[in-house]
Each structure stands twice: as structure tokens, then as C-alpha cells.
Structure 1
């Protein structure tokens, strides 16, 4: 059964970090999460005033962040001494687990800075696991050409079988078995993508106009999808979009800023741990 659009979520402009201009769609309020996905931010600007202040040192606990750069360069540092550069086409999948204190700062003073940050929840049994990283260079992402040169896609996470060919994204070992891909379609082209039945899914259109079922999705809109085993996407104009699907966790979600746990008591503990300088040590409750 093909999936259709369940709800359209227009992105709203807001700011995060030290004043970075972003568009937030999924997760802009509690009722607009798509289990297991908590939030999606899209940043896109050639004005350095919109991004140069970056994201100075800040904590996380209880979930994962996925940063996917389309254009530009960010530098990452954390409390463990890890340091790296995320450039155009690269991905960092960070498991905050019991605690990370990190910063993400632009390594450019001008030019286009464009990309996504996706927050992925962790089940209760994994929220206090040690921090971990998967840093994916641009050349590690499989680039899949669609039949008839109608478009292409980059597969970030998960498995996909298309036209009898099987593809595997480089991100591995993620609890919610995600599928995450960046799809580009030429005007008038369409593609049907298989999706795991029972997994929740959404699409974010960041360029052009697309049709799913009998509904049209415009630029900077997210669409949550109904259940089914596939989705057919048609580009009414040249379309570029991010598709995310994953196994729902179905647990309580209590969020306070950069902490995402299952109860207010766990949030209170995370705040105490941060104030006392032991957030990353994973002190028990």
C-alpha cells in the first residue's frame, strides 16, 4: 500500500545557538514530533550574520543528533578532546547518550552555509550509553542514479532496494533502524521508494515542489506520511528533499532544552549533573 501525506508542517523561522537563523519543522512544538524523530532544523543563508556566531559549547543527554551539510564547513569540538571538520556533503551522527558537551562553529566568514540537523530519540535502555560518533565523509555516501537520469539520491542511513539493486548507507548500529536519504528529482520525474511497514516517516522539501498522492508539498514544508510499504514522489518542479523513516519507540518523551529523557525526575537529574559538572560521567539516578 502506498503512503500518502498525513499532515503538512510549514517550517517556521527561529534561532538557536548564539543566534543562528534556522527553519524548524518537525518538533517546532510537542505535538509535531514524528516518533522516533524529535526535531528537524534546516539552515540556509549566504549572510554571515545568520550563522557566523555558531553553536558555542552546550550539553546534550538522551538522544542523537544528525548533522548533514549541503554547503559550507563546520568545526566540531567536545569535552573528550574530539575535534573534526564537517564539510559540504558530510554527515556526523552523534550519540549523546549519557552526556556530551560540544560546540559546532562555522569555519567560514562568508558564503553559503546550508544543511540539516535532525534529532533522533533513544529508547530508555540506551539513554545513558557512552557517547559515540559516526563521522561520514562525502565520498562515503552512496550516490544512486535513478532510471533515465531522472534524478539521484544520497543514502545516509539504512538499506534500500531500487530497480533490483540493493544499497546500504554508511551509518550503522542505530537503535531505531533509520532510513535517511537526500533525494533530487528532475521536473516531471517520479520515483517509488520502499519503506518498512510500521516505521514512521516524514519528508522535508527544501527546493522546488512535489506531489505525494493527491497533495502538493511546497518548499520548506515537511509532510508526515501515513502507514504503508512505499511512497511515490513526483516532482512538479525540480525537487530536492530529505526523507527520514524509523522504528517508533513508543515511550514517554520529556524534553527540557538539550536534554530528552522519559520522566521529569530524569530531567531534574540531568540538570543537577550538568550544574555539578558530572553530566558526562553518567552518575546513576
Structure 2
């Protein structure tokens, strides 16, 4: 490729295949209809307005399933998610919120997508980043943290022509603005690992420069909303993933409509990766041991009445930790 700051450009349908310390990112977009009394869809999926039930029977989503050895970082752009796990944690989160789950040495959870609106459609968009853990972090207990949209820092930058960029800092820092803390046993928690996750919104014709990071870092930009973006003068079409040179400034220039970009960068862990389904460890032997342990223990008892519970329609956003000992409501913080 002629542009020295761009390594690759790839079209994306659903899955973004990434590099250490990231594993991949799933980009879910569903056109859910109005919800019924059970928080499920009232009409079937159509080619014009498609949606998936995933593994849910009544409510779309992912009923009880296990993970170990990595982290899920779930960013909701629209819609609602109900979370339950085998640690006794639970919560409801929605547009603009981020859930960070360190699966550590094993946890079961479910993620259901309740259709809370009965009088209108329930559009849904969600990113889930699978982010690796170091060998030591894989041995730690699982942990869960909510980052509410009201608390996630934003940096507003105005270019020389008065056009604005909004950088939502999910991890790391942008210029002098630091993100909220990550779970303590996360590769992203240590500042020296430079794990920067930004959700960038560019007004029409806005320009933005992203500072350089280290030469050893991984760096990707995913352009997921808008007709056309320019990265260092190179045209980037809608829904394309760009791998970028890390140790140089990168210049973004938008076209004539609002653009949205997910920005991912960080120092690699550098350990072997052995991945089988929902488990990510460092060797086949470790995977075999983990699956045997899961078959024996299920990573602890499932404390919820069904594999796919959901909260009542009227439930506001909240997070419950330590089996309900600590409960927080973002609108009351």
C-alpha cells in the first residue's frame, strides 16, 4: 500500500479480527421490532429489518455460558443489555454504557437484549471486544465493572475550521484526559501498556489528529458510521477496518456526514494464545484442564432461576455487585 501509515484495509461484515492484546471484536446490529409482554419481538425478522435471536428463545441474547482467560468489553450504542453472572452480579445497561468483564480463572454469565419498548421499534447496536489477559491475569478471580455513560470522559476538539470531534475515552488516555479505572487484573489497567480505546464522532468535514504511541503497539481504526473517511489522505469506505502504523501521528478527515470510528491500540502481551470456543489460555494442555474443570464445577453454581433471566420492563439502569451487597444507579450518582 502506498500510504506508509496504513498497513491494511479490510471490509467488515460482523467480526473484526485483531492482533495482540486484542483478540477480535464483534459488531452486532439488529432492527428489533416493538417488544411483547415477555420483552421479546412481536414480529419475525425480515430482509428489510433483519434481526437475530442469537441463542435466546423468548428474548434475544446469549443465555448462561462460560468464559475463562480473557476479558469482554461490551459497548452499547443503542438498545439494552441485561447481565447476570455466576458471581451473583447483575445489572441493566444501555446506550453509551460500557461493561468490562475480566473472566479470569472462570465465570458463567448471560447477556440478554430485552425489547423494552412496546410502542415503537427497539434498534440495537453493540460492540463486544474480546481482549486477552496475561498468563498471570488468567489465574485471577473474575471481576466485573460498569462504566456509565454519565461518567465516561469525553474530549471535545475543534479544528481550524470550527468543526468538532468528540472522543469518548473508554480506556487509557487522550491527550491529558484519563479514562475511568479498569478492573485491577486487566492488561489495560497498567498505564505502561497504553491500551487506548476511543469511540470517536466527527462532525461533517471535521479533522482530528491522533497522537503517536509506541513502535511496538498494535493499532486499529474501524470506520462504522458515515459514507467516507480519509486517513492520512487515503479514502476509507464505510465498515472497513484499518491497521495503522503506531509510532506516528494519524490524521483523520471526515466527509460531508457524521462519522463514527472505533480506535483500538495497545502494547502486545506477547504470550502464546490457545483459543477454543469461549476459553482463551496459553496452551492446548491448559485448555484441556480448563474444560475438565468447567465440566466438574461449572465455575460455581448458577444463582439465577433460569439460564436466560431478564429484568422487568420498568427496571432502570443499575449494577449489582457482591450478590447485591453493593448496588449503584448511574442517575443517582
Q: TM-score range, shorter-chain basis? A: 0.7 to 0.9
Aligned to 1:15: none
Q: Which is greater in Rg?
A: 2
Aligned to 2:46: none
1:236 aligned residue (255, 259, 267): 255
Query: Which stretches in structure 2 are left out of the alignment for 5+ residues?
Result: 34-50, 54-58, 302-333
SS of the aligned residue for 1:112 comes to strand
Deviations 1:151-207 (A, max 9, x none): 21211111111xxxx101113343243111110112222110114213211111110
User: d(CA) in 2 for partners of 1:42 and 1:248?
Assistant: 22
Following superposition, the deviation at residue 141 of structure 1 comes to: 1.0
Following superposition, the deviation at residue 149 of structure 1 comes to: 4.1
User: d(CA) in 2 for partners of 1:3 and 1:113?
Assistant: 37
User: d(CA) in 1 for partners of 2:208 and 2:170?
Assistant: 18
* 8 Å contact from structure 1 (residues 34, 224) kept in 2: no
Aligned to 2:177: 167
User: d(CA) in 1 for partners of 2:86 and 2:71?
Assistant: 16
Aligned to 2:165: 151
Does residue 54 of structure 2 align to residue 35 of structure 1?
no
Aligned to 2:138: 127
Query: Which stretches in structure 1 are left out of the alignment for 5+ residues?
Result: 13-22, 27-32
SS of the aligned residue for 2:74 comes to strand
SS of the aligned residue for 1:274 comes to helix
Following superposition, the deviation at residue 218 of structure 1 comes to: 1.7
Following superposition, the deviation at residue 280 of structure 1 comes to: 5.5
Does residue 10 of structure 2 align to residue 9 of structure 1?
yes
CA RMSD of aligned residues (A): 1.9
Aligned to 1:140: 151
1:107 aligned residue (107, 111, 114): 114
Aligned to 2:103: 96
* 8 Å contact from structure 1 (residues 3, 229) kept in 2: no
Does residue 205 of structure 2 align to residue 188 of structure 1?
yes
User: d(CA) in 2 for partners of 1:268 and 1:37?
Assistant: 23
Q: Normalization by structure 1: what TM-score?
A: 0.86
